Amino acid sequence: MLMSIGAPSSWRLRRRAAAGILLLAALPVFGHGTEYEILAGGLVGVRAAFDTGLPMAEAPVLIFAPGESGPEQQTTTDRRGIVCFAPDRPGTWVLQIRAQGGHGMRINLEVDESMLPMGAERQEAALTAWQKLAMAACGVWGFLGTALFFRRRRRETR
């Protein structure tokens, strides 16, 4: 599945930077078009390169979830300028890539429900506070029950 999206306006400001977005199996694309593909596992891969074709290698990347102002994930591109992430909800994901010398780019990725990997629903906390409280109460009852049991035995044997 290959889709193309329009180049975000911030790209045009950065004349020396161009990006190719790909998902492992997709064709690398340079220039002002972006293309991406969703892998079976729901991984989105992006390849960032300067317009000379030189990859933005080992550049810090901030990945923002839809509607979030703080980054969801901080990572770096690899040697080939590739960064992968697994979106867990639909919406516009923003990737901010900073290359050396003040270069960088901002990529908006539209992710819809069909692109989410299976089991990507946001993970709930393993235990809620009430569940924890109930477990703690059971644990305490185990200890106190032991205490009461031994007290009772002692009285009977007297």
Partner 1 sequence: MHISEGVLDSRVIIGGYAAAAGLTALALSRVRQEEIPKIAVMGAAFFVSSLLHFKVGVTSVHLSLAGLVGIVLGLPSVLALLAGLLFQAVMFQHGGLSTLGVNTVIFAVPALLACLLYSGLGRLAGGRRVVRSLIAGAASALAVLVGAAIVLAVLRLSGEELTGIAYLFSLAHAALALVEGVVGFVVVQQILRVKPEMIPAGLLRRRS
Number of other CB atoms surrounding residue 58 within 10 Å: 12
Q: Is 154 a residue that touches partner 1 (CB under 8 A)? A: yes
For residue 66, the minimal CB distance to partner 1 (Å) is 27
Side chain identity at residue 124, one-letter code: E
Taking CB under 8 A as the binding criterion, the range among 7-15, 92-100, 101-109, 148-156 that sits at the site for partner 1 is 148-156
Distant-in-sequence, close-in-space partners of 99: CB < 8 Å, separation ≥ 6: 17, 48, 50, 56, 59
Q: Does 147 bind partner 1 (CB under 8 A)?
A: yes
Asked whether position 139 contacts partner 1 by CB under 8 A, the answer is yes
Buried b (16+ CB within 10 A) or exposed e, 85-108: bebbeeeebbbbbbbeeeebbbbb
Measured CA to CA in angstroms, residue 4 lies from 33, 52, 108, 153 at distances of 7, 21, 12, 77
Of 112, 117, 151, 156, the residue at the interface with partner 1 (CB under 8 A) is 151
* Window contacting partner 1 (CB under 8 A); options: 39-47, 67-75, 114-122, 131-139: 131-139
Closer CB to partner 1, residue 53 or residue 142? 142
Interface pick for partner 1 out of 13, 25, 86, 144 (rule CB under 8 A): 144
CB contact at 8 A, 72 and 64 = yes
- Residue of 1, 25, 86, 135 that binds partner 1 (CB under 8 A): 135
Q: Give the interface segment with partner 1, choosing from 12-20, 84-92, 95-103, 132-140 (CB under 8 A).
A: 132-140
Any contact of residue 146 with partner 1 (CB under 8 A)? yes
CA dihedral 118, 35, 112, 128 (to 10 degrees): 50
C-beta separation of 92 from 110 below 8 A: yes
Positions touching partner 1 (CB under 8 A) are: 132, 135-136, 139-140, 142-144, 146-148, 150-151, 153-154
